[in-house]
Chain A
Amino acid sequence: MERRVNYENDLNLMATEPRSGLPGCGDDEPQRKTNPSIRNNKRTVPEISEVSSSESNSSITMSGSDDQDSPPPAKEQVVGWPPIRSNRKNCLQSSKRNEVEGMGMYVKVSVDGAPYLRKIDLKVYGGYPQLLKALENMFKLTIGAYSKREGYNGSDNAPTYEDKDGDWMLVGDVPWE
């Protein structure tokens, strides 16, 4: 669903003449703002956002059989919003850089049907089996055993990731390193 916010246009939805009346006014006709907080569709990557850092080009997604959506439109950055001080913003951004540069390799993981994404640090795991186990624990699902010939046979869930070329690849084919 379209999530763009056009706050400049929305300012005068209600009548502007002064109203006298008891509190409880005005909200009788609630504004049905479409702002779903729970996504049903698979998240697509990479995110198109000019302000978040680029670590999202590595991302693991559990794909079922759905088609991918088109990526959400770029978010306009409003000056001074959300109200976070510069030093905190800078810290967040440099933490993200550190994540990419090797202090910890955090990647985003999304699962079909789950309302929230999670982040995991790839560096913590020694190899694919541990990674898959961790994902199984985190999302309470089974992935099954990997085999070169048949991929993941044990379940409906298959771990995939998007590589540098933007292609969706099955996790496990490429050596861990």
Chain B
Amino acid sequence: MPRRLASSLSDEVLEHVFSFIQSDKDRNVVSAVCKSWYEIERWCRRKIFVGNCYAVSPKMVIRRFPQVRSIELKGKPHFADFNLVPDGWGGYVLQWITEMAGAYPWLDEIRLKRMVVTDESLELIAKSFKDFKVLVLASCEGFSTDGLAAIAASCKNLRELDLRESEVDDSSVHWLSHFPETYTSMVSLNISCLGSGEVSFSALERLVSRCPNLRSLKLNRAVPLDKTANILRLAPQLVEFSTCTYSAELRSDVFSNLAGAFSNCKELRSLSGFWDVVPDYLPAIYSVCSRLTSLNLSYATIQSPDLIKLASHCPSLQHLLVLDYTEDSGLEALASNSKDLQELRVFPSDPFDAEPNASLTEQGLVAVSLGCPKLQSVLYFCRRMSNAALVTIAQNRPNLTRFRLCIIEPKTADYLTGEPFGVGFGAIVEHCKDLIRLSLSGLLTDCVFEYIGKYAKKLEMLSVAFAGDSDLGLHHVLSGCESLRKLEIRDCPFGDKALLTNAAKLETMRSLWMSSCSVSFEACKLLSQKMPRLNVEVIDERGPPDSRPENYTVDKLYIYRSVAGPRFDMPPFVWTKDEDLALRLSP
């Protein structure tokens, strides 16, 4: 852009124009145009997303963006969800809150994922941000209902409190009662992760009754069934609702009360919960089913016939989560009834059982991919698969963007041919050109990685387990997948060569996780020396890697790019190349 033109627009005009640019990517591009645009942009950036809390320090963020109102931070790597990251690894948010408390008095949104949040952090949030509106703690831990009480008591304008899948310690405080009687702003409340002692039902009822803008309410399991109707009658404007436990034996008075309450909820579009639901209660929701776009039955142990009946009432479904009790027959019914389906997740009811306990095979997934033209996102646990099925799915659904397949038994081959799944997953990446997320499973040789490297040009996240034959597999992925941001690998024979050859690639990615692979500590040190802007963390609880025999391979490896340098909160079982142990302060 010619300098004349760039400087002829006043700062205010530019700022106004920039305010229409919301996406981080676009904002980053704008800030790179020239120095003056960089300056204007950084003063008016309001929303920050930090995908890895250790990639940058809070001070650096604050220095560049002085007037942020909303921040999202992610901590532990994804495999922490499956207990692969030892406790105490890191992801502490306190330092961030402390710095932001001083720098951003107008911060009103904090979204955290897989971070360790203490009561102290919550109390600091409650105290420091006067207009605080949104707190989302997804898969977080380290806090108790004491911290929640502080938030409830102080945040007069709180709109959203979402604790999805977090672990909350019960301090026996009736934290819900700490919302003052004058508090009426709740729009979205998700407390589905809380245990039985942690929610006072009467306080909940009072809260719901005085918050007319409440749109999303997700209750915890322990709230009894007969109370659900009460809640619904207090909040007929709900758009999203998660029920409590449904497991009582059918009583006609409870049933009709519930059915009546649901029928009042004309705005309801999303239902979840249904823990231990007794099938006889399901018809109570029939009145809302035709409008439902999202249904999460993945905690409901109901069998296929009941699911088929339910699905037949829900023609507008876009998102469905179920257990494998739905069986192929249930998915076939879904495929013929729900033509708007965009996302399907099928979870295993008995994942640790060697034998299948429900008739769910690859056929169900094939049926849905054939019948649902808008299907984009799949998460599917099953016990058998064939290359033919995968090819059919790929050819019929080239619009897939997320495909995560988990064949439960590691290294299971194609049940029809006994072959590995190179051809099948190869078809997926070849046909689904917009695929951004892929999880592999089953028997896989290096071949599948060659396909992935060749075709999966838009792939951003890849999860691999029990696959491959050699470093070549990893090399194909690192050298071929141009858009790759996150790569997580476990139990594969990938080692030093592929890593060191593709060292530069690692700096273009957010992170790489490798556990139970074949990487030596020597290679880790070498990589670390070669690439100063990578943090190479060896996570090994067995003792100092230096003291181990020569052919020793590291247990777990987490590599991520960072402009913040080595972190200061590493626990004793995380080893880096730094010889100077004084740098490492225990948490």
Contact = CB atoms under 8 A, between A and B. Distances in A.
Interface of A: 3, 5, 7, 10-19, 23-27, 30-33, 35, 37, 39, 43, 47, 49, 51-52, 72, 75, 77-89, 91-92, 95, 98-99, 103-104, 108, 115-119
Contacts of A91: 275, 299
B354 A26 contact: no
A43 B413 CA distance: 23
Nearest to B468: A11
Contacts of B301: 95, 99
A5 B447 CA distance: 22
A47 B472 CA distance: 40
Given A19-B472, A30-B413, A80-B83, A95 B275 contact: yes
B426 interface: yes
Contacts of B348: 82, 84
Contact of B447 (A12, A27, A99): A27
A35 B412 contact: yes
B235 to A, nearest CB: 25
Interface stretch (B29-37, B143-151, B415-423, B563-571): B415-423
B82 A49 contact: no
A142 B303 CA distance: 23
Contacts of B472: 18-19
A80 B357 contact: no
Interface stretch (B62-70, B394-402, B403-411): B403-411
B347 A37 contact: no
Interface in B465-495: 465-466, 469-472, 475, 490-491, 493
A32 B347 CA distance: 28
Contacts, number: 161
B446 A35 contact: no
B281 interface: no
A43 B355 contact: yes
A14 B353 contact: no
B354 A3 contact: yes
Main secondary structure of the interface of A (DSSP, over half): loop
B362 to A, nearest CB: 10
A134 B96 CA distance: 60
Given A18-B470, A23-B454, A77 B352 contact: yes
B419 A27 contact: yes
A23 B354 contact: no
Interface of B: 79, 81-84, 139, 165, 193, 247, 275-276, 278, 298-299, 301, 303, 347-359, 381, 383-384, 406, 408-415, 417-420, 422-423, 426, 439, 443, 445-447, 450-451, 454, 463, 465-466, 469-472, 475, 490-491, 493
A39 B355 contact: yes
5 contacts: A14-B445, A32-B413, A51-B352, A84-B348, A88-B299
B447 A79 contact: no
A132 B318 CA distance: 39
Contacts of B353: 47, 49, 52
A48 to B, nearest CB: 10
Contact of B450 (A23, A32, A92): A23
Contacts of B414: 30
Contacts of A47: 353-355
Contacts of A119: 303, 357
A79 B350 CA distance: 16
Residue of B351, B420, B451 ringed by the most chain A CB atoms within 10 A = B351
Contacts of A115: 359
Contacts of A89: 351
